Chains A and B, each alone.
Chain A
């Protein structure tokens, strides 16, 4: 049976891994490669590296960071987000070691490269990033570059429904970084019932994760800031969530505990 996934998220700004709060306040954590290496060692189901200043500064993807991560030799699937402008960018990212890529700014700007990427890499490699919040009773979609919100665009919804993209990353951007903040209603109000969703933003509590994973619409739960507070956070979450359709926690040591005699 296909498992639900617990994704570790590393947010990168100005070359440093940061804790992010509400898409507007950031605290430095250290070198991204160190955090990614930890998530790999702790047995995350996937690792999402999102470089949040690349599109706003029109810098393109951070291929240098990807090269650094490649040197680690990750044994965990890597998802990359940040600065993707074209089919060429996406293909080069996959050739540089990303297993999947997240598209955000392109969804606001131009959907043609998104379709092109789907043809080149397959829909399974593409994830749509949709930061959402409620304005009154309506869902509003945030353009993080301008910090303006608008209703979800029909052409983007059509693209998602057509299967050009395999999963949607729904971020509760207003509650990002707030313990237990993720609003599950964002998922319930998302228009399509059959599109797999990755939930992100303010997910920290065990019961909250359990409830999210019980939803048939949710394929994965992504956690960022809350993995940074302690060692082996992935294993700890998985142990508490035993019984959920989640891959079991894994443990390994480079060194054998049994001496050769």
Chain B
């Protein structure tokens, strides 16, 4: 486990301290960079994110990271998106305006239905037998969002309810996104990150 190096994709939005701390606490090495050569030297990429979708995509474009991330996904390099980072993995978002995403996981980001926002700890329900997620079935994680994923069921591997079901975890090949913040979800978040990272890097 100690051999795994995680590359945090730094596109200038949000604070990475909690993600770095969580990953190091598990026992992973961490590099934070927007330089492809530096990220190339890591085993798995983590795309964190706080803020609005259009500004985040613009920041990725400005740093030349859109093509890079898409290429990494095509090469089946493991990628994890956290919260806004998960939404960036999708085809597009309707937040403020229609904005094209990384299109790594088919589907779009739309406003939550039945509630204006979803803030707090909610339970994760695994909807298939994805071994990366099974140990976290029934655990509570911290959410803070008002938009959510809408796309084919085959990519929705974990659900939460508020009040209706919505995608809490999506996956396409070696790309995984969590709508919640595992780095802010204490013991449950750390266990989930560990399982996903080890599962993807040792597959």
The answer to whether A and B belong to the same complex is yes
Question: A120-B51, A124-B144, A163-B116 are known contacts. Are A1 and B184 too (CB-CB below 8 A)?
Answer: no
**Per DSSP, are chain B's interface residues mostly helix, strand or loop, or mixed?**
mixed
Whether, in the assembled complex, A140 has its beta carbon less than 8 Å from a beta carbon of chain B, the answer is: no
CA distance A167 to B118 in the complex (A): 11
Residues of chain A within 8 A (CB-CB) of B129 are: none
For chain A, the count of residues having a C-beta within 8 Å of the partner chain is 39
Residues of chain A within 8 A (CB-CB) of B161 are: 1
Q: Which residue from chain A places its CB closest to the CB of B23 in the assembled complex?
A: A73
| A147-204 at interface with B (beta carbon < 8 Å) | 163, 166-167, 196
Residues of chain B within 8 A (CB-CB) of A196 are: 119
For chain B, the count of residues having a C-beta within 8 Å of the partner chain is 38
Whether, in the assembled complex, B132 has its beta carbon less than 8 Å from a beta carbon of chain A, the answer is: no
Question: A94-B50, A120-B52, A166-B116 are known contacts. Are A3 and B17 too (CB-CB below 8 A)?
Answer: no
1/0 contact string of B104-125 vs chain A (CB within 8 Å) = 0000000000001111111100
Whether, in the assembled complex, A219 has its beta carbon less than 8 Å from a beta carbon of chain B, the answer is: yes
Q: What is the distance, in angstroms, from B94's C-beta to the closest C-beta of chain A?
A: 14
Please determine whether B144 and A100 come into contact, CB atoms closer than 8 angstroms: yes
Q: What is the distance, in angstroms, from B195's C-beta to the closest C-beta of chain A?
A: 16
Please determine whether B181 and A77 come into contact, CB atoms closer than 8 angstroms: yes
Q: What is the distance, in angstroms, from B11's C-beta to the closest C-beta of chain A?
A: 12
Q: Which residue from chain A places its CB closest to the CB of B183 in the assembled complex?
A: A75
1/0 contact string of A204-247 vs chain B (CB within 8 Å) = 00000000000000011000000000000000000000000001
Residues of chain A within 8 A (CB-CB) of B116 are: 123, 163, 166
Residues of chain A within 8 A (CB-CB) of B21 are: 72-75
Partner of B185, one of A70, A71, A75, A219: A75
Q: What is the distance, in angstroms, from B77's C-beta to the closest C-beta of chain A?
A: 26
Please determine whether A2 and B15 come into contact, CB atoms closer than 8 angstroms: no
Please determine whether A70 and B15 come into contact, CB atoms closer than 8 angstroms: yes
Please determine whether B123 and A1 come into contact, CB atoms closer than 8 angstroms: yes
1/0 contact string of A13-51 vs chain B (CB within 8 Å) = 000000000000000000000000000100101000000
Interface residues of B (CB under 8 A from A): 13-15, 17-18, 20-22, 24-25, 50-52, 96, 116-123, 140, 142, 144-146, 161-162, 181, 183-190
Interface residues of A (CB under 8 A from B): 1-5, 40, 43, 45, 70-77, 94-97, 99-100, 119-125, 163, 166-167, 196, 219-220, 247-248, 250, 252
